[in-house]
Structure 1
Amino acid sequence: MNIPPLENSYVKLSLLDLSNYKNLQDIGSEKDLIYYSPSDISTSETLKAYVQTAVDGFYHKTIIPFIIYDKTKIAYAGSTRFGIINWKNKVLHIGWTWIGKDFQGSGLNKQVKFLMLQYAFEVLEFEKVEFRIDERNSRSRKAVEKLGATLEGILKKDTLMPDGYRRNTCCYAILREEWPGIKSSIFGAFY
């Protein structure tokens, strides 16, 4: 797949791979950064394994992983990806997003999501974008709701967490026909 960088004047999303992931090592080791994720990125070894899984998924066309570069702070800020890509049914997930604490609350995540939603609906022409979030992660749930996503349901105890806890996962979605209204009302200032 030939995936161009997704960018605007605030942020640039480039493919995450084994040549650039080390730019995220300090961020990945921040305490509790991905507390609500079943993944571990806290050491250089676990971060490399996390990226290798994403790279493998890219070659199998089920994942498109990105490294996030904040153009206003002139620094790498984190990672995100398209995952569980179903090319036949034109459905994908946006997730696996983690942004360093110095970048949180800055509006960066909203910029990232705008670029990803725009690419998914307007370039890839997908029909549905899903977000799956730990039920306990109220901050991420509110952020996705502010994007205009609708809660479709909750999968009970569907994900085993590193500490043995079985989390409930909230499933949110935006449909292609909803995108124009969301784009103008939520993201109007970005385009």
Structure 2
Amino acid sequence: MSLELPLQPVTLTGDLVRLEPLSLEHVEGLREASADGDLADRWYTGVAPPEQMAEQVEQRLARQRAGTMLPFTAVRPRDGQVLGVTTIYDISPDVPRVSIGYTWNRESAHGTGTNPESKLLLMTHAFEQLGVRCVRFETSWSNQQSRQAIERLGARLDGVLRADRLEKTGDLRDTCVYSVLAHEWPSVRSGLQHRLRRRGARA
């Protein structure tokens, strides 16, 4: 089985977050979300400053048309507030395999359960609708918050790519590569569902 490109935009809905196909209509909400915590100022993230947000959205939409990315805007269902973005990218149709990343969320949403639910929605789509054999996650060695979040998902560390790319500061980045394989997905899914149920019970 191989993937047909480009992947078709789809809305994925959970209790805490709704992942909508990224569009230029989200730009103003994304500008506001990036200002929550001044995320563009963090050297280890790829968050665009407000004046460059429209350009970044255009770039991701161009990659979607080219079949190399499927970008989403994360929205809080209860009030429609834009939380951030996430994407399916690095699409290898023959394996088939995808990566999930280029993710950021407004600081006030951190720790609220929206990120693990987003990952649950995306991996469910990837494994159960697209039929992939592998989902990858990548992050900077220096981004401890991201590494811990990926590990809490149940993904396994495949390795570290030394001097893999340049950070926006010009510094060399070591990249941690994690993955979940299709046969591991049922266990990972159960773990994520359990985490979200416990969070709901405490709310």
Shared topology, TM-score over 0.5? yes
Aligned residues: percent identity?
A: 28
3-state DSSP of counterpart to 2:99: strand
Deviation (angstroms), 1:163: 1.2
Aligned residues: 189
Give the conservation status (yes or no) of the 8 Å contact 1:21–1:67: no
Gaps of 5+ in 2: 1-6, 198-203
Question: In structure 2, what is the equivalent of residue 54 of structure 1?
Answer: 60
Q: Say which of 26, 29, 38 aligns to 1:31.
A: 38
Cα distance, 1:186 vs structure 2: 2.9
What is the aligned partner in structure 2 of residue 123 from structure 1?
129
* Structure 1 gap segments, 5+ residues each: none
- Residue 27 (structure 1) shift: 1.8
CA offset at residue 102 of structure 1?
Answer: 1.0
Q: Distance in 2 between matches of 1:83 and 1:12?
A: 19
Conservation of the 8 A alpha-carbon contact between 1:131 and 1:172? yes
Displacement of 1:4 in angstroms is 2.1
Q: CA RMSD in A?
A: 1.7
Q: Structure 2-normalised TM-score?
A: 0.87
1:76 aligns with 2:79: no
1:43 aligns with 2:50: yes
Which residue does 2:149 correspond to in 1?
143
Q: Distance in 2 between matches of 1:107 and 1:188?
A: 12
Q: Is 1:179 the counterpart of 2:182 in the alignment?
A: no
Work out the CA distance in 1 between the residues paired with 2:177 and 2:117: 21
Taking the TM superposition and a 5 Å limit, the aligned residue runs for 1:149-164 are 149-164=155-170
Do the aligned partners of 1:13 and 1:66 also contact (CA within 8 Å) in 2?
yes
Between structures 1 and 2, the one with greater helix share: 2
Amino acid at match of 1:71: P
* Equivalent residues in 2 for 1:7-26, closer than 5 Å: 7-26=13-32
How far the C-alpha of 1:181 sits from its partner, in A, is 1.1
